[in-house]
Amino acid sequence: MWISEKGIASFKIYQDMFPVVEKVLLTLSDCESKCVASSAFLVEDTKKTTIEILSYIASGYNNYDTNFKATEYNKARNAISMTQSNLILLNNNKLLSEENLNENYNALEDKLKMISGVLRKIEKR
């Protein structure tokens, strides 16, 4: 990942989340090759929610309004949970291996806790 001393690329949560999002997207690309038309929407929806994780983090980072910042970080948490849910569905439909499910699910869960910590700090202000 390209890192800068300025802007969103300097934000620790974004830096830590970026490789997790990339891994999920790579895993989803593998799912597409196994996908039938009836489950293609699930892969596409999962890609969208995965990308939204970084988008919401960036949106919160660039806002000075504490309430809006917290709202965007909560949206990132929701996007993580939706991505996890979709990964479970992909596994149940035999499009995602148990190993890939566990690896991606747990990596997302670790980052969810990280965002929760930031939210606790915001709420204490």
CA–CA distance, 74 with 25 (Å, rounded to integer): 21
87 in Cβ contact with 104 (< 8 Å): yes
Confidence (pLDDT) at 19: 96
The two three-digit tokens of residue 68, written as one number: 């809006």
pTM: predicted TM-score of the whole model, two decimal places? 0.92
CA–CA distance, 121 with 125 (Å, rounded to integer): 7
Give the CATH number of the domain where residue 89 resides.
Answer: 1.20.1440.60
Confidence (pLDDT) at 25: 97
| Residue of 39 and 13 predicted with greater confidence | 13
Cα separation values, 105 from 46, 87, 100, Å: 13, 7, 8
pLDDT over 70, % of the chain? 97
Q: Which domain holds residue 55?
A: 11-22+39-124
> Does a structural domain hold residue 32?
no
> Does a structural domain hold residue 29?
no
Q: Report whether pLDDT(1) > 60.
A: no
> Does a structural domain hold residue 3?
no
Give me the number of domains the chain comprises.
1
Confidence (pLDDT) at 2: 61
Amino acid 31 reads C
Confidence (pLDDT) at 3: 64
pLDDT in tens, 67-111: 999 999 999 999 999 999 999 999 999 999 999 999 999 999 999
> Does a structural domain hold residue 28?
no
| Residue of 4 and 105 predicted with greater confidence | 105
Confidence (pLDDT) at 28: 95
> Does a structural domain hold residue 91?
yes
